[in-house]
Amino acid sequence: MFRQAASYLILLTIVFTADMLSQHRPLGKSFVTRSEVIAPHGMACTSQPLATQAALDILKQGGTAIDAAIAANAVLGLVEPTGNGMGGDLFAIVWDAKTKKLHGLNASGRSPYSLSMEHFKKLGLKSIPPLGPLPVSVPGCVDGWFELHKKFGKLPMTTVLAPAIGYAREGFPLSEVIAYYWGRSVPALSVFPNFKETFTTNGRAPQKGEIFKNPNLATTLETVAKGGRDAFYKGAIAKTIADYMKRNGGFLTEKDFADHTSEWIEPVSTNYRGYDVWELPPNGQGIAALQMLNILEKYDMKSFGFGSKEHVHYFVEAKKLVFEDRAKFYADPAFVKTPVKTLISKEYADERRKLINAERASRSYDAGNPALKDGDTIYLTVADAEGNMVSLIQSNYRGMGSGMTPDGLGFILQDRGEMFDLTEGRPNSYAPHKRPFHTIIPAFITKDGAPYMSFGVMGGEFQPLGHVQIVMNMIDFGMNAQEAGDAPRIAHTGSSEPTGERMTDGGAIMLESGFPEGLARSLMQMGHRVRYALDGEFGGYQGIIRLPTGIYIGASESRKDGQAAGY
């Protein structure tokens, strides 16, 4: 009788265990939220499903990956104004399947001609405020769209912008994460003229699932679709913005818009364990990721293991070192010669690595001396059937931007000028008609000269840290594209900034939940300050891998409202 009962219990346990296992993922890391998306003809990964579907619709109409990316970006400017819009800037890296080459586009705008350092001194300011007229620079996004389209597009812009125009006029339902950040932005920005009329419903932020319309943005998009980039930079739109800024204490003029140009630039790279990782050179911070990878390459991360104290310690110390260079050397190359070649060299990394103590956290580092050796944001990625891939990032800088909302246009102007340094004589010091230091950076990986992955991680100064973690997660820790994005992340605050603030106390590590128990204690014993961070401090990731067979694998950020989808 006892044996029969024991057998029954064993059988029951097996059945119960099998039933429980069937409710869990059979593959992947414990933290993975979903499977990778795999498709043969095209792939789109954005931070909002309506934008992803707009990109796929354009691909299915015969558009290129670049057409689809522009369509998705325009939709995101409507449905996710908390991170981007026509009033912001844009950067992109494009893999052109015909030439088998990467192309970089810097579509960032410049400061006003009529705003001088003297004006800030008269106001007694030590830094540029984040809101209002003073941080506003020329929006580069629209010119970026047309530069990309002229070089790599196929469908007419009236077709490309049609999805955004339709949603703006007919309305769209707010998704969850965007509704949360929209709600946080409304109290601070409602003091600026036209913001409340454009971005609220009866004076309040729209709610999750609520239909929101922006007919003014629809009209602006239609004007640009029919009239081209000059309709924005040399027509009534530029005049409307200039008049609005003049009435409200701003400095942008029609000349600032008329003189605006984007710039095609050569991406730069470093090799990390056999993979070439590509970024854009300054005025952005992309090369910080390359500098960090060069420092970290000599450590046996695979042996240390993901989430080990060594993994986190060396990662953070490399970040501290690199961000000192970032604060000192990264700026508009039209004003300052940044020694990019030396900064991203292996030899320079070898010298800087010697400063890292394997057992103790540093309180501060000095920037290197490379000159002696060398005379919230959105991110999206799209790939098409021909093998073209685009890595695109676009932003108003701080969330919804400056709050300055020009009459009847349906968008907010960016506040990127906040990133200028108001101390004279430094690389990023304010000057008229100068591009500020930028945090938004797209990325790309090639292997043996062929495209491997288009990816990015939005999120202010966190972005280079995010790029490095994606690369390490895949190459060092063997994760797939979705796992690499879902893995718990490491952030670090307190480094020296391009605006002039200096690190003196070592800053603080922020750990996302999901790391091994005891990690924080081990790091504190090494002298690190550690805390578990709030939501929203770890950016947002999208990525597309291209297999040698031409098949695409897509991944989307589980911390956002995003979607990866293919066909």
DSSP code at position 438: B
Least confident of 42-46, 49-53, 528-532, 542-546: 528-532
Name the helix (H) or strand (E) containing 107. strand 101-107
User: Would you state the pLDDT for residue 17?
Assistant: 40
**H, E, C per residue of 410-423:** CCCCCCHHHHCECC
Average pLDDT over residues 422-443: 95
Known catalytic membership, residue 499: no
Residue 373 pLDDT > 50: no
Q: At what angle do helices 346-353 and 287-296 cross, to 10 degrees?
A: 60
Give residue 409's pLDDT: 98
Where does the pLDDT of residue 365 fall: very low under 50, low under 70, confident under 90, or very high at 90 and above?
Answer: confident
Residue 190 CB burial class (10 angstroms; 0-12, 13-18, ≥19) = middle
- For range 213-235, the mean pLDDT: 98
pLDDT at residue 1, rounded to an integer: 43
Judged by average pLDDT, the poorest of 16-25, 42-51, 176-185 is 16-25
pLDDT tier, 14 (very low <50, low <70, confident <90, very high otherwise): very low
Span 397-418, pLDDT tens digits: 988 999 999 999 999 999 999 9
Query: Whole-angstrom Cα distance, residue 97 to residue 104?
Result: 14
Asked if residue 117 lies in contact with residue 430, where contact means CB atoms within 8 angstroms, the answer is: yes
Catalytic position from the list 338, 377, 381, 446: 377
Phi-psi region of 189 (alpha: psi -120 to 50; beta: other; left: phi over 0): alpha
Mean pLDDT of the chain: 92
Helix (H, G, I), strand (E, B) or coil at 172: strand
**271, 292, 262, 267: which is closest to 461 by C-alpha?**
292
Tell me what percent of the residues of the chain surpass a pLDDT of 90: 86
Res 7 pLDDT > 70 = no
What is the Cα–Cα distance from 471 to 214, expressed in whole angstroms?
A: 39
Q: pLDDT at residue 320 above 90?
A: yes
Mean of pLDDT values over 27-34: 85
Say which DSSP state 204 is in.
B
Q: What is the pLDDT of residue 368?
A: 81
Amino acid (1-letter code) at residue 133: P
Q: Buried (b) or exposed (e) across 52-89, using 16+ Cβ within 10 A? A: bbbbbbbbeeebbbbbbbbbbbbbbbbbbbbbbbbbbb
Domains, the chain, in order of start with CATH, read 38-87+105-261+398-419 (no CATH), 265-377+439-552 (1.10.246.130)
- Say whether pTM exceeds 0.75: yes
The arithmetic mean of pLDDT across residues 38-54, rounded, is 98
Judged against a pLDDT cut of 60, whether residue 462 lies above it is answered with: yes
Question: pLDDT tens digits, residue range 81-125?
Answer: 999 999 999 999 999 999 999 999 999 999 999 999 999 999 999
pLDDT band at 536 (very low <50, low <70, confident <90, very high): low
Cα torsion angle, 392, 397, 399, 404, sign: negative
| pLDDT tens profile 187-222 | 999 999 999 999 999 999 999 999 999 999 999 999
- List, as own/partner pairs, every contact residues 115-121 make where C-beta atoms lie below 8 angstroms and the sequence separation is at least 24, other chains included: 115/251, 115/432, 116/432, 117/422, 117/424, 117/429, 117/430, 117/431, 120/422, 120/430
Least confident stretch, 162-166, 270-274, 306-310, 323-327: 323-327
pLDDT confidence band for 6 (50 / 70 / 90): very low
pLDDT band at 25 (very low <50, low <70, confident <90, very high): low
